[in-house]
């Protein structure tokens, strides 16, 4: 191809950096080769625009170098899109992000692969910038976005891990969580914080271990009659040294996510891995490592892997398909034995040859040892047999270059096998025995006097990003301290008249376990009275009543009720025109309800909740399902005190968690509250309302009927939003005791 005349182009590029002349020819030749005439004009116009923003030569250079390739791949519309975006950026306080932005374009184009997606990517960046760029007076934006440059630096990694949608969610989350906190925002976008990583993890593509944990546990139990704890580790953050799966006494370490590979779905890759490890657990016994050289150990591990897989395939031939598909296929002759260490290559070929009888290898040693392996497997074998075969293989094939530091790794990593640390035991344990850690002092006594349960973590729904914030809320459950139970008895005495009325209703509600149904045409037994009457009718020529049978039916109540009390600060108020605080009225109402439910024989749990930021949601146990309505329970109820805020979602989830485990037919969760969900660490009230609404939906899904009794006369706005139609707003608070008990009965009639 003739060298095109570039002088005309240089004139079109309005840019006078002296460095430009050194690179222009190369860049332009590249552009001419890749772009149409129109594209070249756009290219030069774009470069001129970037030159004019006054950010030095570097942005221009990046644009000139990268854009022809991007435009060729995704279309020439990209040329003006990128230059105009850079121009837009330069009109904001975020000029410092321009080089980083340009740097990401080439990578983003490669990863995203379509014009449409790249446009969305650019829009996403601009949107992120708009939402995080601050202003002091609320009029002109003056503060640069703290997160944008760090985000752009992370972008290649993010795109390698997530789809564009995933990145978008992750960014949205960061903006919503840290809008007013520049330092935290930077930490988030540079992947320094735990929640940042956790959200990233949720958005990963591929099969997430946590989604499949139960399935894999079932797999291990069903096919291997084995039990162990799985501990996932992350592949995402350790670039230098990729961790490998392994197992020890504490559990089985598995990657947290598997993409589909070689036509094998992520779940089946997990199964392949777990089957391999389960086979080791069944058939491998540890052998002493001290007497073997590193090369011998490597070979022993490979042969032992093959041995347990061979045994496993005897039971489950189908596993062979999985393993063969996942096993790398080293190509004979790839490794140059004169300059590189080929030991891994040779062993991977041997392993491949053993696993797949139709292997393509011609090397006589490999063929011979594969045959010897099969011959060995015709008898009972142990790990020692595998070791002796491996040692003789190494003795036969050893060459000088095996010692070389330049090890040939291509196609030798078998990712469904563990690192075999369980295979080795050591005669000399090393120097660690003389450890200094074993100090003479006894372990520190825990001085905490009250036994506490460890916190439970619950997710919280973020309506903004339409996703759960994983493990967002820490909930502490403890036994409520006891007070004077006599107080409750006194309250009940005050309500004697009401109690009497309730008792009449209760007696009608009380289950008659076995009820006779008369006048049935089809029934289990002849109802003689009716039958004789019919017979008489028949004999006397009147049409007899054919309904002469009777049957029986069960009439039992099988209900578990959980009553959740909002113990937030507002409960201490006295409503207008009332002598008692809301707290006292609630105590009275709860006491009456508990008494009524106890009479009915339904199982009841009572708990109070309050919250002090997401790190401390208190869930106070007042009465458990197994407990009777007696002195200790009354004493706990008497001692309840208002305090802190109302984070309802987590409390609902926790109450639902124990209620869902009840074996009853009907499950009812009553929430007694006096205000909308709120907490001091949440500025946007709608967030907690939406979270509570989501929690109610989750409970619904688990077959739990949720009902809210609200003491806030203005509750209609939000309570319908959370509970749908299932709520009552009590306007005259002093009638709560009566209302609550009656409400319960009508709900469960």
Q: Which residues bind other proteins (CB under 8 A)?
A: 214-215, 217-219, 221-223, 225, 267-268, 271, 275, 315-321, 524-526, 528, 531, 535, 548, 551-552, 663
CB of 739 to other proteins, least distance (A): 35
β-partners of residue 669 are 562, 706
Q: How far is CA 304 from CA 226, 310, 421, 423, in A?
A: 20, 10, 12, 9
Q: How far is residue 469 from each of residues 205, 493, 692, measured CA to CA in Å?
A: 18, 47, 14
- Taking every pair of Cα atoms in the chain, the longest distance, rounded to a whole number of angstroms, is 126
Q: Is the CB of 219 or the CB of 472 nearer to other proteins?
A: 219
Looking at residue 431, the DSSP 8-state letter turns out to be: G
Burial label for 624, CB within 10 Å (0-12, 13-18, 19+), is middle
- Tell me the β-bridge partners of 231: 253
Least gap, CB of 510 to other proteins (angstroms): 19
CA–CA gap between residue 101 and residue 152 (Å, rounded)? 6
Q: Do 331 and 411 touch, CB atoms closer than 8 A?
A: yes
**Contacts for 392 with CB less than 8 Å, ≥ 6 apart:** none
3-state secondary structure of 708: strand
Q: Please, what is the minimum distance in Å from the beta carbon of residue 451 to other proteins?
A: 30
Q: Given the complex with other proteins, which of 319 and 335 has the nearer CB atom?
A: 319
| Cross-strand bridge partners of residue 23 | none
**E strands, 505-558, where?**
514-520, 525-526, 549-554
* CB 662, min distance to other proteins, A: 14
| Closer of 229 and 321 to other proteins (Cβ) | 321
d(CA 509, CA 488): 25
We find the least distance from the C-beta atom of residue 65 to other proteins, in angstroms, to be 50
* Contact in structure between 207 and 266 (CB atoms under 8 Å): yes
Q: How far is CA 435 from the centre of its chain?
A: 39
Cβ-based nearer residue to other proteins, 248 or 529:
529
| Least Cβ distance, residue 209 to other proteins (angstroms) | 14
Q: Which is nearer to other proteins, 260 or 489 (CB)?
A: 260
Length in residues, the chain: 749
Closest CB 630 distance from other proteins, rounded Å: 24
Q: What order of strands is seen across the sheet that includes strand 514-520?
A: 514-520, 549-554, 525-526
Other beta carbons within 10 angstroms of residue 478's beta carbon come to: 13
Residue 225 vs 441, nearer CB to other proteins? 225
Q: Which residue's CB is nearer to other proteins, number 14 or number 552?
A: 552
Terminus-to-terminus CA distance in the chain, angstroms?
Answer: 91
Q: Sign of dihedral through CA atoms 278, 283, 286, 292?
A: negative
Least distance CB 259 / other proteins (angstroms): 19
Residue 510: partners with Cβ closer than 8 Å, 6 or more residues away: 599, 600, 601
Phi, psi of 65 (to 5 degrees): -75, -45
CB of 453 to other proteins, least distance (A): 25
CB of 618 to other proteins, least distance (A): 34
Q: What is the DSSP letter of 703?
A: T
Q: Round to whole Å and give the CA distance between 80 and 421.
A: 56
Pick the closer one to other proteins by CB: 443 or 541. Answer: 541
Closer Cβ to other proteins, 10 or 533, answer by number: 533
Shortest Å, Cβ 713 to other proteins: 46
CB of 512 to other proteins, least distance (A): 15
- For 59, 64, 153, 474, 710, the CA distances from 97, given in Å and listed in that order, are 11, 18, 10, 37, 51
**Smallest separation, CB 218 to other proteins (Å):** 4
526 to 219, 523, 536, 541: CA distances (angstroms): 54, 7, 16, 22
742: burial class by Cβ within 10 Å (0-12, 13-18, 19+)?
Answer: middle
Helix (H, G, I), strand (E, B) or coil at 554: strand
Contact 604, 559 (CB under 8 A): no
- Least Cα distance to 167 among 118, 132, 213, 207 occurs for 118
- Give buried/exposed letters for 493-516 (b at 16+ CB in 10 A, else e): eebeebbeebeeebeebeeeeeee
Cα separations (Å) of 696 from 188, 460, 651?
30, 12, 11
- Cα→Cα distances 167→206, 266, 369, 646, Å: 15, 21, 50, 32
Q: Residue 145 is encoded by which pair of tokens?
A: 């976005």
Q: How far is the CB of 382 from other proteins (least distance, A)?
A: 24
Determine the Cα–Cα distance for residues 105 and 82; give it in Å rounded to an integer: 8
Are 616 and 652 contacting, i.e. CB atoms less than 8 angstroms apart? no
Identify which of residues 223 and 660 has a Cβ nearer to other proteins in the complex: 223
**How far apart (Å, rounded) are the C-alpha atoms in residues 559 and 490?**
29
Which of 454/663 has CB closer to other proteins? 663
Nearer of residues 129 and 278 to other proteins, judged by Cβ:
278
For residues 227 and 500, which CB has a smaller minimum distance to other proteins in the complex?
A: 227
What minimum distance in Å lies between the beta carbon of 703 and other proteins? 15
Comparing CB distances to other proteins, the nearer of 331 and 528 is 528
Nearer to other proteins, 152 or 275 (CB): 275
Nearer to other proteins among residue 265 and residue 506 (C-beta): 265
Least CB distance to other proteins at residue 420 (A): 23
CB of 214 to other proteins, least distance (A): 5
Nearer to other proteins, 316 or 409 (CB): 316
- Smallest distance, other proteins to C-beta of residue 212, A: 8
Which CB sits closer to other proteins, 401 or 664? Answer: 664
């Amino acid at each position: 191809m003739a060298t095109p005349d570039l002088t005309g182009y240089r004139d079109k590029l309005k840019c006078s950096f002296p460095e430009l002349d050194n690179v222009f020819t190369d860049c332009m030749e590249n552009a001419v080769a890749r772009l149409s005439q129109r594209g070249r004009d756009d290219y030069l116009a774009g470069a001129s625009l970037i030159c004019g923003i006054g950010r030095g030569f570097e942005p221009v250079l990046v644009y000139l170098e990268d854009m022809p390739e991007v435009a060729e791949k995704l279309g020439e519309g990209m040329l003006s899109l990128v230059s105009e975006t850079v121009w837009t950026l330069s009109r904001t306080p975020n000029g410092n992000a321009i080089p980083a932005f340009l740097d990401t374009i080439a990578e983003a184009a490669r990863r995203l692969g379509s014009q449409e997606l790249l446009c969305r990517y650019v829009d996403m960046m601009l949107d992120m910038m708009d939402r995080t760029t601050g202003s002091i007076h609320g009029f002109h934006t003056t503060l640069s976005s703290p997160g944008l440059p760090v985000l752009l630096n992370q972008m290649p990694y993010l795109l390698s891990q997530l789809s564009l949608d995933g990145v978008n969610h992750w960014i949205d989350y960061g903006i919503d969580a840290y809008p007013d906190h520049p330092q935290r925002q930077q930490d988030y976008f540079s992947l320094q914080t735990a929640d940042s990583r956790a959200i990233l993890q949720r958005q990963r593509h591929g099969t997430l271990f946590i989604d499949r944990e139960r399935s894999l546990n079932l797999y291990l139990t069903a096919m291997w009659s084995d039990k162990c704890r799985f501990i996932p580790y992350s592949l995402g953050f350790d670039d230098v040294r990729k961790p490998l799966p392994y197992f020890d006494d504490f559990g089985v370490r598995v990657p947290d996510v598997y993409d589909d590979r070689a036509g094998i779905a992520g779940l089946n890759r997990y199964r392949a891995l777990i089957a391999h490890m389960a086979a080791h657990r069944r058939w491998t016994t540890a052998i002493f490592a001290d007497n073997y050289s590193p090369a011998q150990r490597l070979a022993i591990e490979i042969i032992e892997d093959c041995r347990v897989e061979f045994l496993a395939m005897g039971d489950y031939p189908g596993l062979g398909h999985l393993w063969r598909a996942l096993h790398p296929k080293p190509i004979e002759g790839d490794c140059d034995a004169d300059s590189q260490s080929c030991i891994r290559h040779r062993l991977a070929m041997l392993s491949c040859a053993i696993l797949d009888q139709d292997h393509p290898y011609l090397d006589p040693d490999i063929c011979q040892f594969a045959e010897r392996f099969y011959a060995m497997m015709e008898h009972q074998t142990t790990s020692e047999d595998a070791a002796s075969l491996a040692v003789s293989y190494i003795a036969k094939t050893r060459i000088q270059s095996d010692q070389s530091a330049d090890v040939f790794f291509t196609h030798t990593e078998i990712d469904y096998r563990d690192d075999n640390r369980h295979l080795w035991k050591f005669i000399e344990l090393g120097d660690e025995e003389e450890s200094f850690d074993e100090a003479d002092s006894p372990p520190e006594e825990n001085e905490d006097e009250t036994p506490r349960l460890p916190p439970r973590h619950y997710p919280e729904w973020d309506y903004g990003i339409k996703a759960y914030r994983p493990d967002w809320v820490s909930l502490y459950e403890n036994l409520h301290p006891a007070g004077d139970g006599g107080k409750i008895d006194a309250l009940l005495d005050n309500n004697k008249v009401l109690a009497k009325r309730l008792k009449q209703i209760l007696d009608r509600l009380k289950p008659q376990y076995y009820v006779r149904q008369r006048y049935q045409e089809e029934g289990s037994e002849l109802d003689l009275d009716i039958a004789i009457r019919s017979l008489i009718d028949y004999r006397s020529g009147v049409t007899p009543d054919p309904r002469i049978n009777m049957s029986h039916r069960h009439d039992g109540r099988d209900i578990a009720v959980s009553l959740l009390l909002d113990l937030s600060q507002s409960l201490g108020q006295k409503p207008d025109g009332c002598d008692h605080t809301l707290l006292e009225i609630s105590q009275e109402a709860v006491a009456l309800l508990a008494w009524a439910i106890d009479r009915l024989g339904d199982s009841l749990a009572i708990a109070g909740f309050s919250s002090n930021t997401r790190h401390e949601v208190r869930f106070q146990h007042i009465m458990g399902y197994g407990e009777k309505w007696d002195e200790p329970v009354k004493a706990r109820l008497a001692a309840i005190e208002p305090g802190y805020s109302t984070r309802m979602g987590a409390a609902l989830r926790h109450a639902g968690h124990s209620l869902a485990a009840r074996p009853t037919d009907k499950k009812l969760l009553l929430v007694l509250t006096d205000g909308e969900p709120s907490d001091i660490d949440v500025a946007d009230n709608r967030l907690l309302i939406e979270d509570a609404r989501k929690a109610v939906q989750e409970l619904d899904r688990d077959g739990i009927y949720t009902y809210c009794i609200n003491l806030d006369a203005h509750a209609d706005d939000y309570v319908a939003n959370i509970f749908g139609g299932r709520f009552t707003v009590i306007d005259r608070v002093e009638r709560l005791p009566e209302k609550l008990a009656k409400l319960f009965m009508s709900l469960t009639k």
